[in-house]
Structure 1
Amino acid sequence: MPNHMWLRIESFQNRRVKEAIALRKSDERRNTGRIIIDGVREIERACEAGVLIEEVFYSPTLAPEKARQLVEMLAGRNVTILEVPKRLFEKIAYGEREEGIVAIARSPTFSLKELTLKSGPEAPLVLVVEGIEKPGNLGAMIRTADGAGVAAVVAADIRCDMYNPAAIRASLGTIFCLPVVAASSAEVLEFLQQHALKCVAARVDGAVAYFEEDLTGPTAVVLGSEAEGLSPIWRQGWVKSVRIPMLGRADSLNVSVAAAVLLYEARRQRMVSGVSAQV
């Protein structure tokens, strides 16, 4: 293992340490084009997706065997390994999550123009989320989308940093496993029309219950923020509106829960109709 790729850092004043801590702020991530990834599973999934890992902070006293194996693999790929003591690692790591490894990577850049929906035995299913403010909700929806076999997640007029560490963590790293793009709501609407996707928007005043709508064809499921719901642009005549029946005092579910209900209803319908590519 090349010695120049494995460095030991002891000082809180080290430039690399300060830069890593600064990446917890969205402005720093935006200005540098870099992101910070916590955890073995998340880093592994980023690597599998071809995300460029620039350097890794590693604390041997905290790291389980899987983390040590990952560090060795990354070192073999000429990624700079920065070994740090526990006290220093705790300042770099996210919250109380200390798996002994944190990666610094280049932020993926994937635009709506680059998004292609592959043809196959199953019609594409796309998740569109508009105006999402909480990165944890975004990450949770991406995790659900990955589990439900969604072709892509499109963030319309997003109000949080897509690669916020909380979004990466909530997605369990699946944010790197499927196409996730951001665009304006107008651009997204145009994209859906161009690709002949049936647009099904969740609203508290939706015309029909979600399970009454056919979700087996090429479909985009659209959800808005919990605070404001969907913007008026989604009240186009060709956009279908559905509701999730609420039997208690609340008029809506958490947006990530609503996404799970709708996406797995689409999965159920496709399995029942025999068009699902998965069992």
Structure 2
Amino acid sequence: MTTKLISSLQNPLIRQLAQLKDKSRERKKSGLFLIEGEREITLALKGGYELECVLFNPEIISEEQINKSTNQQINLIEVTADVYQKLAYRDTTEGVIAVAKSKNHKIADLKFNTKTPLILVAEAPEKPGNIGAILRTADAANINAVIIANPKTDLYNPNIIRSSVGCVFTNAIATGTTTEIITFLKSENIHIYCAALQASVNYNTQDFTKPTAIVVGTEATGLSDEWLENASQNIIIPMQGEIDSMNVSVAAGILIFEAKRQRNFK
């Protein structure tokens, strides 16, 4: 049900939401973030996220369409076109933005419903676009979890939500320090396979049907020594060109889908 119309760019709520869009500090402090787009909002609801309210511009999307796609009672706020554009992150717009409560992503809370989980660990990824691509790959492969070690940006950065096409809501995601994550993986008896150039064997020689964590680092620096020292095995994707690295999300995709192939895509 629509509760009010907001037409002023100086409205206190709009100013607060603009801060949520632009500043990680405000998202962390308030525990709130913005979700733009009908599909992304639907995926967030499916992923168990709680919405505070939904703002929409009736020139682009109707109240009835929002009610149909969310299929639940939500506090709707109608906004004018200029107010909506102040909050929108995309160049092409869908007319709807939700204010959602963030989740706790502590590594200690990560649970598996299988004895042979397949996990992707990314250490210190910096580019939101790469994180989004990794999350899309993880969703496509339906792996058990994505863990981000030493995160450089918060998961609710608008560019991560956009580039992941909402897959930030469909994956089980945990964050922690490298030390915390290694301790967790070992406590769960999960084999650690680190993508690295040093002391490595070809990735397709390994058995990924057992409990497996595939660990990737940044293209610039690779993985930290702590990962390499604690690896069950370092693995490498053979390169046939002039360079010895590829985009981290592409490498993650190759390794994850080899593991899925070995598991008969189960």
Q: The TM-score by the shorter chain falls in which range?
A: over 0.9
- TM-score scaled by length of structure 1: 0.89
Rounded to whole Å, the distance in 1 between the matches of 2:72 and 2:210 is: 45
Counterpart among 50, 70, 79 of residue 66 in structure 2: 70
| Cα deviation 1:35-83 (Å, max 9, x = unaligned) | 11111111001111221100111011122x7x85224565952x32121
Output the TM-score relative to the length of structure 2.
0.93
2:32 corresponds to: 34
Aligned residue for 1:174, secondary structure, equals coil
CA distance in 2, matches of 1:216, 1:245: 21
1:256 aligns with 2:253: no
Equivalent residue in structure 2 for 1:118, among 87, 92, 113: 113
Q: Deviations over 1:219-275 (max 9, x none)?
A: 00000112211111012254311111222222111111111111111111111xxxx
**Aligned 1:124-163 pairs, distance under 5 A:** 124-163=117-156
Q: Is the 8 A contact 2:37 2:97 kept in 1?
A: yes
Alpha-carbon contact 2:53-2:100 (below 8 Å) kept: yes
Structure 1 residues 238, 58: CA separation in 2 closer, same or farther (over 3 Å shift)? closer
What's 2:15 paired with?
A: 18
State, as a whole percentage, how many aligned pairs show the same letter.
37
Unaligned runs of 5+ in 1: none
Q: Deviations over 1:145-196 (max 9, x none)?
A: 1111210111111111111111111221121122101101001001111111
Other-structure match for 1:80: 75
CA distance, structure 2, for counterparts of residue 90 and residue 105 of structure 1: 19
User: Does 1:93 pair with 2:88?
Assistant: yes
RMSD: 1.8
Post-superposition shift, 1:23? 0.8
Q: Which runs of 4+ in 1 moved over 3 A?
A: 71-76
Relative to 1, partners in 2 of residues 1:252 and 1:68: Cα closer, same or farther, differing over 3 Å? farther
